[in-house]
Amino acid sequence: MRSSLGEKIFYGINYVLLGVFGISCILPIIHIVSLSLSSEHAVLSGFVGLWPVGFTLDSYKLLIEGTRIVSAFKNSVQITVVGTILNLFFTILAAYPLSRTYFYGRKPLTMLILFTMLFSAGLIPSYLLVKSLGLVNTYGALWLPGLVGVYNLLVLKTFFENIPRELEDAARIDGCSETRLIMQIMLPLSMPVIATLILFYAVGHWNSFFSVMIYINSSDKHNLTVLVQQMIMNNQLAQQVTEGRLSEDMMESVTPQSIQSAGVIAMIVPMLIVYPFLQKYFVKGVMIGSIKG
């Protein structure tokens, strides 16, 4: 079907606007990468634009050898992996029964869950609750309060409801139990939505900052996001460097701005690597799980 002149103009304007928007999003990232790979003189002189000037990896060497970046990275991985597994497990356990028409009281329970999406207890009551449970300075304080995301629960619940009832009936005729029904029929058919939820939960845990600052007191348990934020706010490289582990030449070859840029890149690269593997499921999962056919 041939497009009219008006449609071609409309599509052309859309392509231009989306192209400009995409470039405006990627240019700051390219600039940060260039800062992290440029020499001290180029950074201080303001010569760095979209391409490294005086290419060097000293910023990354100093970041790895002189800061807690490795331990913070391990903490971020632990928080993200364990938290995502727990979120996904309990979201499935909550969404499946709420999607069954024969589950008694599913509508009142759904309304109560929706209520928590609109109203919350607030910061101080939440902190007092976490403290009373003995979870302060533990990662349980990061995992337990957001164990089930209401929006993600509704997406998965809607997807379960859209799976043809005939598949369930056929499985039950063959003697399929409830657990086997979930594991061998429901979950394999729900992989697009599950991949989308994994991405939602993983990004949330990886970028967690405010909750870590509130509940985690020990600096040894801080994640990568908090470490990078401290490096940026302090703006003093010496405070982030372990004394006696680095040579003076290496410390003089980089600037606080370049090592801050290296920290930002170290924080965003893992998610940039993971996202392409889940992107093909992303749009399909959200659309199928959000629209009831």
pLDDT tens, 36-93? 888 777 777 777 778 887 777 877 888 787 778 888 889 999 999 999 999 999 999 9
- Using CA atoms, how far apart are residues 239 and 183, in angstroms rounded to an integer? 51
- Inter-axis angle of helices 106-118 and 69-99, nearest 10: 140
Per CATH, the homologous superfamily of domain 58-290 is: MetI-like (1.10.3720.10)
Predicted confidence at residue 90, as pLDDT, reads: 93
Predicted confidence at residue 83, as pLDDT, reads: 93
Predicted confidence at residue 48, as pLDDT, reads: 77
Residue 130 token pair: 């976490």
**pTM for this model (two decimals):** 0.80
Q: Which residues contact 195 (CB under 8 A, 6 or more apart)?
A: 278, 281, 282, 285
Predicted confidence at residue 282, as pLDDT, reads: 63
Helix (H) or strand (E) holding 261: helix 256-290
**Consecutive 10-residue runs of the chain (293 residues): their mean pLDDT?**
77 91 87 82 76 79 79 90 93 89 84 84 86 89 88 88 82 81 84 86 89 88 85 59 50 70 84 76 56 44
Q: CA 132: distance to chain centroid?
A: 28
Which one-letter amino acid corresponds to residue 236?
A: Q
Integer-rounded Cα radius of gyration of the chain: 24
Region for 235 from its dihedrals, namely left if φ exceeds 0, alpha if ψ lies in -120 to 50, beta otherwise: left
pLDDT in tens, 120-136: 778 888 889 889 988 88
Predicted confidence at residue 91, as pLDDT, reads: 92
Residue 193 token pair: 């939505």
